[in-house]
Amino acid sequence: MPGISAKTERLELWGGVECTINRVGEAFHNQLAARSPAERLQDIDRVVSLGIRTLRFPLLWEELAPEENAEIDWSAADAQMRRLRELGVRPIVGLLHHGSGPRYTSLVDPRFPERLARYARAVAERYPWVQAWTPINEPLTTARFSGLYGHWFPHGRDPRIFCRAFVNQIRAIGLAMRAIRAVNPAAELVQTEDLGVTLSTPALVDQAEFENERRWLSFDLLGGTLDRRGRGWGYLREQGISESELTELVEHPCPPALLGINHYITSSRFLDENPRGYDAREIGGNGRDVYADVAAVRAQNSNFFEPRELLRQAWERFGIPIAVTEAHLCCTREEQLRWFGELWSAASLLHRDGLPIIAVTAWSLLGAYDWDSLLTRADGHYEPGAFDLRSPEPRATALASLLRQVARTSECENPLLRVPGWWRRSVRIVRRHTPTMPLPQVFAPRANRGCPMLLIAGADAGLGDVFARMCHLRGLPYRRLSPAEMDVTDAPMVRAAIRAFQPWAIIHAEGCEHLDARAHAAARDRPTEILGAATLAAACAPAEVALLTFSSDLSSRVNGTDDDQDFRIIPVEAERRTALIVKTSGLFGIPPGNDFISRTVHALSGGKPIEAAANEFIRLTYVPDLVHASLDLLIDRERGLWHLTNSGAPSWTELAHEIARIIGADASLVTSSGQVLARVAPFKGEPPLLNPWHNALRRYFEQQDETHAPAPCPQAT
């Protein structure tokens, strides 16, 4: 097998799984902790099924050697590495991924480099056939998050801690590669780093220039190209790094065979000298200036920096072959497709121009947990990737289909790619302190170029409004039809609408159970809802138009059916094949009204007591989560019956206590009662659930109206 940096005729597709084990305080957060050894073996087969033959693969220090001087249990790693060889997959082995090492060391431990090198030697001796290595992923980024921003252990907020953590990692990479090459002299270093650009307002140009020079430090120090007269050298010296230490690194370099560029939409930053109107969490400084530091793509006065230009800059500066080693977006399904498509296109153009761009790595193939908080909280907030782990068996998404196509043909085509990503649309700008603008009944962006349309029908105005808003934010062309324009119970009207608009799917925005189900039940016409779903299904099936419709615990009670008989609302087998039926319960997040959450907030905010049942439980569903997940399932071409609620089933008393905690009210005002408000939906088995209910409730209070595009993980890597 040729070396990892060998120029190829075709741009290659590589893969990787988010595998961070980072430390916050005394707690270690392990992205793969829930995957058993058997599941990890199956995951390798799933990745290979996409056509991927090079895989960034973790054999992480914290996991294999958590105790110093203890014997390593190699059994699980042996099985995984053996399976990779059987399948002909080339691993790029990573030893530390945004971590600070096991509990017996840290990024600022003077012995950290030698300790990592000992572990690297042990791994190399166990697997001497491995050729490509990434001893430490993104050392500069990890040092910033751990030593400058205080997010991860050792939680430093001091340039001296940042510089020590950074230089320790660079030394550790060099020593680790020497230890590995003592076993395998042909071993190659694949060094990854995030290369986000910093832009600024005029008063902060100097700070921006400094950060733009700092972003190259990992490659400069490893390659021995750091200029002794340059700003980077001076900065490291000012922050306590000795002349002899820097000289040692420069005179004994460990240049990478391949530069791994990890670029995320929010990696590029914008510094605003006028911090008014920004969130307090976005305001910082350099000891001289106070300024807002925000994602450049979200700022009114900033521009999106082209990935192709970043890759070209890296090649022109270092002249070393390049791969995009992480291509991922924590976002909705079509935006994940658009972001991967954009990076693949940028790399393909450079490859055709003759630049040694080797590969693009589809990252986070199994999704990622809690990057919305930069891994500082263990909320269980999950973002799927090419596979969604929330199903009983990992489920391939539309991204998996796109990757298979790329691996087979090198072409990246999907109708949803014909609309630009949110980072190229007006929704990218976060407008603060402005009212929500009414949405049009029809959304068809000018850059549509033939992306097919969704039809949104149904009498539930609240749910229909949320679907329209989310489609607008996600760049999904839609048309909202009133009952007068298309009566869903009138078969000729439905067929005429399908002929006129030629949609790829119809959303029947009815049939959901709101949080206070009984308060809404009297006003609901369930037989009409069921007739509408059946009529739509009968018209959609012959036209090969997908149908999304809803069922609930309440509809089961009204119609005398149980959980396994929800298909009675679409009685014909042939019609079921085009129908996606989402069963849900306990909706909240439609503009506040007279529901339990609103009443509880009103009472507790006024210092008044609230009674809640302690012996009855409810499945909660945050409407934005439900709508995003339902649209994702449509795009993934899923059909059949799906259960979508936020995971967990609190009692009404537990829900009231959590509301009190979030809003800072006196929880003693919540009293328990035996009153039955509603019963929990009797979902059977292990349904694919949304993120935990307490996580959804917190997000509801943080931003009740999601008026901007679903935000990717800030600076996530």
Rounded CA-CA distance 693/331 in Å is 19
The residues, any chain, with a CB within 8 Å of residue 469's CB and separated by 6 or more, are: 439, 706
CATH number, residue 511: 3.40.50.720
pLDDT at 258 over 70: yes
Determine the pLDDT at residue 8. 81
Q: Which helix (H) or strand (E) holds 360?
A: strand 357-362
pLDDT at 709 over 60: no
Taking residues 105-117, what's their average pLDDT?
A: 98
170 with 44, same domain: the answer is yes
Determine the pLDDT at residue 232. 96
67-81, 573-587, 602-616, 631-645: segment of lowest average pLDDT: 573-587
Q: Which helix (H) or strand (E) holds 244?
A: helix 243-251
Determine the pLDDT at residue 566. 56
400 with 498, same domain: the answer is no
Helical segments of 410-516, H only: 461-474, 491-501
Q: Which helix (H) or strand (E) holds 22?
A: strand 21-24
pLDDT at 553 over 60: no
Domain containing 549: what range?
452-702
369 with 483, same domain: the answer is no
Q: Reply yes or no: is the peptide bond before residue 571 cis, omega within 30 of 0.
A: no
Per-residue tokens: 634: 């449509």
pLDDT at 712 over 80: no
β-partners of residue 508 are 457
641 with 525, same domain: the answer is yes
Residue type (1 letter), 177: M
Q: Residue 4: inside a domain, yes or no?
A: no
540 with 591, same domain: the answer is yes
Q: Residue 293: inside a domain, yes or no?
A: no
Q: Residue 288: inside a domain, yes or no?
A: no
Rounded CA-CA distance 582/625 in Å is 13
Percentage of the residues of the chain whose pLDDT score is greater than 90:
73
CATH number, residue 308: 3.20.20.80
Going by pLDDT thresholds of 50, 70 and 90, the confidence category of residue 562 is very low
Task: Give the model confidence (pLDDT) of 302-328 as tens digits.
Answer: 777 789 999 999 999 999 999 999 999
DSSP, residue by residue, 86-145: HTTPEEEEEEEES---STT--TT-TTHHHHHHHHHHHHHHH-TT--EEEEEE-HHHHHII
pLDDT at 174 over 70: yes
Question: Which of 418, 436, 462 is the endpoint of a domain?
Answer: 418
106-115, 283-292, 412-421, 510-519: segment of lowest average pLDDT: 510-519
288-292, 311-315, 588-592: segment of lowest average pLDDT: 588-592
pLDDT at 403 over 90: yes
Number of folded domains in the chain?
Answer: 2
461 with 314, same domain: the answer is no
87 with 150, same domain: the answer is yes
Q: Residue 279: inside a domain, yes or no?
A: no
Q: Residue 93: inside a domain, yes or no?
A: yes
Determine the pLDDT at residue 384. 95
338 with 466, same domain: the answer is no
Choice between 591 and 339, residue whose per-residue pLDDT is larger = 339
Rounded CA-CA distance 195/214 in Å is 10
Taking residues 335-341, what's their average pLDDT?
A: 97
Question: Which of 401, 418, 435 is the endpoint of a domain?
Answer: 418
387 with 464, same domain: the answer is no
Determine the pLDDT at residue 298. 87
461 with 508, same domain: the answer is yes
Q: How many CB atoms lie within 10 A of CB 286?
A: 14
B/e letters for 379-398, b = 16+ CB within 10 Å, e = fewer, are: bebbbbbbbbbbbeebbbbb
Q: Give me the sign of the Cα torsion angle 429, 430, 435, 440.
A: positive
Q: Residue 274: inside a domain, yes or no?
A: no
SS3 671: strand
How far are the Cα atoms of 114, 145, 194, 497 from residue 154, in angstroms, in the given order? Answer: 19, 10, 21, 60
Going by pLDDT thresholds of 50, 70 and 90, the confidence category of residue 229 is very high
Determine the pLDDT at residue 391. 82
pLDDT at 288 over 80: yes
Taking residues 491-515, what's their average pLDDT?
A: 92
Rounded CA-CA distance 607/411 in Å is 61
pLDDT at 380 over 50: yes
Residue type (1 letter), 623: V
Task: Give the model confidence (pLDDT) of 212-227 as tens digits.
Answer: 999 999 999 999 999 9
Percentage of the residues of the chain whose pLDDT score is greater than 70:
88
Q: Residue 423: inside a domain, yes or no?
A: no
Per-residue tokens: 547: 């149908």
Question: Which of 374, 400, 418 is the endpoint of a domain?
Answer: 418
Going by the DSSP 8-state scheme, the letter that residue 646 receives in this structure is: B
Determine the pLDDT at residue 279. 85
Taking residues 337-343, what's their average pLDDT?
A: 97
pLDDT at 186 over 60: yes
20 with 131, same domain: the answer is yes
State the Cα torsion 554-629-400-374 to the nearest 10°: -130
Q: Residue 161: inside a domain, yes or no?
A: yes
163 with 234, same domain: the answer is yes
Q: Which helix (H) or strand (E) holds 443?
A: strand 442-443
Contact criterion met (CB below 8 Å) for 17 and 52: no
β-partners of residue 595 are none
Determine the pLDDT at residue 449. 58
pLDDT at 435 over 80: no
pTM, rounded to two decimals: 0.90
SS3 200: strand
